[in-house]
């Protein structure tokens, strides 16, 4: 009986310490102390190899460090463990895209199809997934036309975004216009986003347009003043 009690207390103690490590790691991650949180999450993962949230945190951390291969490893495991989770495909596609961007052109071209398929899979699993559509907008803007880049396709996803979130739709359409140098058109879209959201992000994007693209720093300053008021 004493032996059973000892074993019970031992496992309870191990579980409590493990949970404490996880909680500490999560707090460090949320405070952007990625180095220390990584160490604790890796220790926790040794005893809990199938813990999805820990794998996701480690993938996010490696993404912050731009360690694309390591991030890909964690997100790939997450897809295998839970193939119905849209965010895992979105994050996997994101880091794969970043790896492609930092690779030579020939190698990058071989990854593009999987990047697109990952974002499309995220959307099929979660039809309201805005971030995956935003990523596809950016992808179709950045890709050369010869390998599938297309303003028309980017706009198609921007329109889908608008059906889910009017604010994000205006921001996406503004971004497309800004990318092609149509700054007045971008200004109109960003102003609409500001008008209906009053969000700091919308104000900041409009201010950046004025300052960096339209040569109107005073207007940018005025916009940023509105955030403070």
Q: How far apart are CA 140 and CA 6, in angstroms?
A: 61
Query: Chain-wide mean pLDDT for the chain?
Result: 90
Percent of the chain with pLDDT over 70: 90
Q: How confident is the model at residue 144 (pLDDT cuts 50, 70, 90)?
A: confident
How many CA atoms are closer than 13 Å to the CA of 17, on its beta-carbon side? 8
Task: Give mean pLDDT, residues 66-72.
Answer: 97
Give which of 201, 223, 192, 199 is closest to 210, Cα–Cα.
Answer: 223
pLDDT tens digit sequence for 164-192: 999 999 999 999 999 999 999 999 999 99
Q: Which of 9-13, 135-139, 187-191, 193-197 is predicted least confidently?
A: 9-13
3-state SS assignment for residue 61: helix
More confident residue, 79 or 13: 79
Task: Give mean pLDDT, residues 96-112.
Answer: 87
Task: Give mean pLDDT, residues 105-122.
Answer: 91
């Amino acid at each position: 009986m004493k032996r059973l009690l000892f074993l019970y207390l031992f496992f309870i103690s191990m579980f409590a310490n493990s949970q404490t490590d996880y909680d500490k790691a999560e707090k460090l991650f949320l405070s952007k102390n990625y180095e220390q949180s990584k160490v604790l999450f890796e220790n926790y993962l040794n005893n809990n190899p199938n813990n999805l949230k820990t794998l996701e945190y480690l993938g996010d951390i490696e993404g912050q460090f731009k360690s694309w291969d390591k991030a890909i490893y964690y997100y790939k495991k997450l897809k295998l463990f839970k193939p119905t989770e849209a965010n895992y495909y979105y994050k996997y596609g994101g880091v794969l895209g970043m790896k492609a961007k930092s690779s030579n052109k020939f190698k990058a071209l071989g990854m593009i199809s999987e990047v697109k398929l990952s974002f499309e899979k995220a959307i099929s699993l979660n039809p309201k997934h805005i971030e995956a559509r935003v990523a596809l907008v950016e992808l179709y803007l950045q890709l050369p036309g010869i390998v599938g880049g297309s303003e028309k396709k980017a706009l198609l996803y921007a329109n889908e975004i608008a059906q889910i979130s009017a604010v994000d739709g205006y921001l996406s359409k503004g971004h497309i216009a800004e990318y092609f140098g149509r700054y007045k058109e971008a200004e109109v879209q960003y102003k609409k986003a500001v008008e209906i959201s009053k969000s700091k992000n919308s104000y900041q994007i409009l201010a950046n347009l004025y300052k960096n693209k339209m040569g109107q720093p005073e207007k940018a300053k005025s916009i940023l003043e509105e955030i403070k008021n």
